[in-house]
Amino acid sequence: MRSRPFYSLILIAAACLSRGAHADPQADALLESAFTTISQAKSASGDLEMKLTMDKKKPITFTGHFECLKPNYLRCEAWIHDGSQELSGNDPAIQHLLNVSDGTNYWAADESHPATIVERPVTADGREFGTISHLLWSSFYSSSRTPDIREMLSHVSTTGVTSETWQGDTYRVVTGLNNDAESKPSVKIYVAADNTIRRILLTGDNTSGEFTITNAHINDDVQVSDFVFRLPSYATLVKQSVDAKAFALLQNVEDSFAGVDAFTATIKTTTTSAAQPELESVETSQTKVKALRPIYVNLVTTNTNAASKNKQPIVLACDGTSVWRISYYDDPRYQKATSDSMAGMFDVDVNTDPVHGFFKSCWIESIEENGKTQLFDKGSQTWNGVTYHVIKLKRTSNIDGHSNAQNNALYIGDDNIIRRVITESTADDGFHSTTDSSIVDLDRHATLTPADFAYTPPAGYKEVP
């Protein structure tokens, strides 16, 4: 669902549910209480409707129904109406949004091929459901982990709490402003008497949206039998090859960082690549990483080739307000952007293996993305005198008509931390590469403060768009 055009607008709305740097204390407490109500519920259901307008084009409207049951049962269906021909033509795969979990398996559309429904195992706590863009109560599944929406701390400023009547009922309404979004949309969040969010209004210069949940029920009598999956007539089913033991290990890997607020690490990487054997090249680098929730990060990669003349490093830095990127060695240019509410999930992701996914669920999501993923348990292997459990993740993709294959070998220690990742990539044009990354040291108990993430680009560097 992340690839759909309206997802960015939904993220803005979701961002408006987070605490900003200048949040109103009363509004902040009300939203926190609403999140707690949903995350502590045993079951939830309701009808949803969303009306989205972007760049003053014809609105996209979709309606649906959802049922949720702890720990990992889900049925969420929605149908798109009106909007552009691209989104709501005669293709039922585009009109119909389907996500179902029966507690054992999870079915969802392939992002690249909506008519393909992918079946794979579901996590024990339903953590992957947080990526369903139209499931506004996704924090229902976050009780065992930090709710994604609370990690989207940003410059969305709540300004107060008022009282309004909507559809005959009285609501407490949180008002706010997203200062980072281009159109600076204002937001109103309606909290019902049962302490659940029922309506979000987003109004901006170029974007607007209304998100509603009606006929809502909390802790009602929802049965496991309600979550039986039935393949739509238009769809093709693809079952992913996922080993159950390896899948459980990946969940443990992600949980190993779930309660960590900050860490530091040094990672060494060797990359061998070539389009032809005689043109093979070897690059080595060292990355110093430090990160602090919710969105502070400093990642500095230095070329360590003995013969290399590249001395200036590649940098990704976020001080909680701004993000700096230096993308190439010895290129005296940098990009700077405002750190918005999505930074903790996307823009400031620590992509350096094997510390992969401090800010979000990465490995589980990579299995979810398409039906061309395989996960294998390779058992125990010894590396540098230490025994690790190794699992392999194989993925294939097709980009612009070219096929690419990627194989990842993940070396997992007894502490459920990935200590080494070997990635082999092959393209149909003959190019191949092998990247071997390993942790030299890791401190999951690092004492860091926001002041540790102050950053200034090197002297003489020029800012570019």
358, 257 in Cβ contact below 8 A? yes
Task: Provide the pLDDT for residue 235.
Answer: 92
**Domain range annotation of the chain:** 7-239, 252-463
Instruction: Quote the pTM value.
Output: 0.78
Task: Provide the pLDDT for residue 153.
Answer: 35
Residues 6 or more apart whose CB falls under 8 angstroms from that of 279 comprise none
**Common-topology check for domains 7-239 and 252-463:** yes
Closest by CA position to 57, among listed 95, 114, 5, 122: 5
Task: Provide the pLDDT for residue 429.
Answer: 77
Looking at residue 160, its amino acid is G
Tens place of pLDDT per residue across the chain (465 aa): 333 434 444 444 444 444 444 468 898 888 888 888 988 999 999 999 988 887 667 778 889 999 999 999 999 998 887 655 455 456 777 788 899 999 999 999 876 777 889 898 998 888 888 767 677 787 788 644 444 444 433 445 788 999 999 999 999 999 887 655 555 678 888 999 999 999 988 887 777 888 899 999 999 988 999 999 999 999 999 888 889 899 999 888 888 887 788 999 999 999 998 876 666 788 899 999 999 987 789 999 998 887 777 778 899 998 888 889 998 887 899 998 776 543 443 344 455 677 766 776 667 767 765 557 889 999 999 999 999 999 999 988 766 667 788 899 999 999 999 999 999 998 887 788 999 999 989 999 999 999 999 999 999 999 998
Task: Provide the pLDDT for residue 388.
Answer: 97
- CATH code: domain 252-463 is 2.50.20.10
Task: Provide the pLDDT for residue 53.
Answer: 80
CA distance 153 to 294: 7
Tokens in use for 223? 């049965």
CA distance 359 to 364: 13
- CATH code: domain 7-239 is 2.50.20.10
